[in-house]
Amino acid sequence: MSTTKTIKSALISVFSKEGLEPIVRKLHEQNATFYSTGGTEDFIKNLGIPVVAVEDVTSYPSILGGRVKTLHPKIFGGILNRQDHEGDVQQMEEFDIPQIDLVIVDLYPFEKTVASGASESDIIEKIDIGGISLIRAAAKNFKDTVIVASVEQYSTLLDLITEQNGATTLEDRKLFATKAFHVSSHYDTAIFNYFNTEETFYKESIADGQILRYGENPHQKGFFFGDFDAMFTKLHGKELSYNNLLDVDAAVNLIAEFKNDGPTFAILKHNNACGLASRTSILDAYNAALACDPTSAFGGVLISNTKIDLATAQEINKLFCEVVIAPAFDAEAIAVLEEKKNRIILVQNEVALPEKQVRTCLNGLLIQERNNLTDTKDQLKTVTTTAPTAAQIEDLIFASKICKNTKSNTIVFAKNGTLISSGTGQTSRVDALMQAVEKAKNFGFSLEGASMASDAFFPFPDCVELAKNAGIIAVIQPGGSIKDQLSIDYCNENKLAMVFTGTRHFKH
């Protein structure tokens, strides 16, 4: 039997009629018979095209307030019968079941209804039964049946039946079936997640993926699954790469710590801040952030917590950077930043980030809650006889926010609302501290009077001793070591202020 089949009949039952008319007219030109229900039936009739009501086939009306319309052996037999199976052919004749070659169906808008804040009863009524059953039946029988399960596939179907005069190949039908199972599984995942309260159950489905140029390296394939356009309005520049997206993610998480602070500018490289400063103007904040480490800033990702003006854009334009992000840009600033052809300019929109973080691990996934805790003045516990001044507390909190968003092990030095230097991703906290000291020296920064943040506790007093010798006068750390008192004693003997937060901020 030929694997190429001509569509001679179609069951159409859709929620949205947009884009349907040209398909119906083309199939009518090709002498297809239509079966339909309710509003779709009226839609086809209003086009002046004959249509058979499903209830005339089943001898049953739509019942239970529309909950049962197409669920009947004569409908599902017409979809599921195997045309090369002798027994199926005989039963189709015996029970007078019409052949259905094409099913066009979409599903009630469950996700949109949930997102609208509708009542539970309204949400429950948007759980599609007949539609999902039709999709699964037609997709299962792709050898004989074409399934179109969403409006997004209408144009593909129209092109196909126009170019091939109503005929489809087995490959065509299998591709439609694949997309249909994607629609049904995505739909069921959304319903499950609405009901799910078990933390040990995890299902996720993202409808649209974006193919990236490559992954971390050119020999690796890369993809992004998410609604990038909801988070950002892209004004200019090349397509974002896998590594760009990782840096943008790090930048968004970091600047969120300073959302309610004064003008703050951050520069990131390889997911870590290499420059960050808060000032009274965004221009001053940018210049101070750049001065932290102008070498690493080359090719970095830049982000501001406030509008970027012309003067700041003119300074940024002197630097080669991959991405510039802000909640807004002056028109003149955009014009300047667009002078570099490939520079990516993003307006960050107000969009909530997922509450769960997911990453692959071994042969499965690791999932955790987002670290939504930010150290504040109220939670600080002074553990030394020397208490930090108000200015030092500001710097300690500032440094802690950066520390939280830097790869462990990490040490951050800050002074006067400026990142002086940091040690990142080291295998020991002492190494991280020594790296930060050396980096400060290399860029000519004095650590006299600076504050230090650590992402975890000090098991020994060596870190506070090295910090004091470098000029540090105030320290913020979680505390919690059985040897905390050794570090406290050293600080007391050397008049260092130290505060505990009680919160560790590892970032692996």
Q: Which residues are known to be catalytic? A: 140, 270
Structural contact between residues 69 and 35, judged by C-beta atoms closer than 8 angstroms: no
Specify the residue for token string 């949205």: 16
The burial of 424, by beta-carbon neighbours within 10 Å (0-12 exposed, 13-18 middle, 19 or more buried), is given as buried
**Distance between CA 51 and CA 36 in Å, rounded?**
7
Phi, psi torsion values for 502, nearest 5 degrees: 80, 5
Element (H, E) at 123: helix 120-125
Element (H, E) at 468: helix 462-470
Taking every pair of Cα atoms in the chain, the longest distance, rounded to a whole number of angstroms, is 98
Specify the residue for token string 């509008």: 307
Cβ atoms < 10 Å from Cβ of 262: 14
C-alpha angle 304/305/309, rounded to 5°?
Answer: 60
- Bridge partners of residue 321, in order along the sequence: 300
Phi, psi torsion values for 265, nearest 5 degrees: -130, 135
Cβ atoms < 10 Å from Cβ of 433: 28
Token pair listed for 231: 């988070």
Specify the residue for token string 């750390």: 477
Q: Which residues contact 222 (CB under 8 A, 6 or more apart)?
A: 211, 212, 213, 214, 215, 216, 241, 242
Cβ atoms < 10 Å from Cβ of 196: 12
CA-to-CA dists, residue 148 to 9, 169, 184, 201, 230, angstroms:
14, 15, 12, 31, 27
Phi/psi zone of residue 105: left (φ > 0), alpha (ψ -120 to 50 degrees), beta? beta
Token pair listed for 396: 């300690």
DSSP string, 100-162: --EEEE----HHHHHHTT--HHHHHHTS-SHHHHHHHHHHHTTTT-EEE-SGGGHHHHHHHHH
CA-to-CA dists, residue 471 to 221, 327, 478, 496, angstroms:
47, 37, 21, 10
CA 330 to chain centre: 27
